[in-house]
């Protein structure tokens, strides 16, 4: 069962930034409900949305990405296993459960394919040549030999801000 997010964007104004690139929903007025299964086995391999949504703003030459979780076009990202490929900013975003969102470069460390991704069973796969990476960006299957670079994620008022 996927976790569902109860969006209540203005109930609290709090800010959280964790070390590395994780961010927690728990203190942001966003609550997951109805979860009894922490696995991500049932998630779709398709991204939660396609590029071009008004929910996403890219600035600073692609180095800053803002995602409005209130927008229904990104509703999948509110739930564990939801993920996005922000093609224009070459970034992968995933809700890894336990109220954490992480972001990584979508430029594969093998031969730099950047838009040929799928995600299932908690693994990203670059379909160019089949390299796989876990939700920490670590290579778990080649031909890639280097991990994906991870970006900083901050969530405030239901807006996910990713900074490279
Ligand atoms: Fe990603 Fe080759 S470019 S596996």
Q: Which residues of 50-59 are buried (b: 16+ CB within 10 A; e: fewer)?
A: eeebebbebe
For residue 118 and ligand 1, the question of a CB distance below 6 A is answered with: no
For ligand 1, atom 4, name the residue with the nearest CA: 129
Cα–ligand 1 centroid distance for 114 (angstroms): 9
Give the domain ranges of the chain.
Answer: 7-36, 41-163
Atom of ligand 1 nearest to the CA of 130: 4
At residue 156, the 3 state secondary structure works out as: strand
Q: What is the pTM of this model?
A: 0.73
pLDDT by 10s per residue, the chain, length 164: 444 433 333 333 333 333 344 444 433 323 222 223 333 333 345 555 554 568 898 988 889 999 999 988 888 899 999 999 998 899 999 999 888 999 999 999 999 999 999 999 999 999 999 999 999 999 999 999 999 999 999 999 899 999 99
The CA R_g of the chain, rounded to the nearest whole Å, is 15
> Of all atoms in ligand 1, which is nearest to the CA of residue 142?
4
CATH number assigned to the domain covering 41-163: 2.102.10.10
């Amino acid at each position: 069962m996927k976790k569902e997010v109860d969006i209540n964007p203005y109930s609290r104004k709090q800010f959280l930034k964790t070390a590395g690139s994780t961010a927690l929903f728990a203190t942001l007025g966003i609550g997951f409900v109805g979860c009894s299964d922490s696995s991500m086995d049932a998630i779709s391999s398709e991204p939660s949305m396609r590029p071009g949504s008004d929910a996403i703003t890219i600035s600073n030459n692609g180095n800053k990405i803002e995602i409005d979780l209130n927008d229904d076009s990104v509703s999948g990202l509110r739930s564990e296993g939801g993920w996005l490929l922000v093609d224009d900013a070459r970034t992968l975003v995933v809700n890894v459960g336990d109220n954490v969102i992480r972001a990584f470069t979508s430029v594969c460390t093998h031969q730099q394919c950047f838009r040929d991704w799928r995600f299932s069973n908690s693994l990203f796969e670059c379909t160019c040549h089949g390299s796989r990476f876990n939700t920490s960006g670590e290579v778990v299957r080649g031909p890639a030999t280097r991990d994906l670079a991870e970006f900083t994620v901050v969530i405030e008022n239901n807006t996910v801000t990713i900074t490279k």
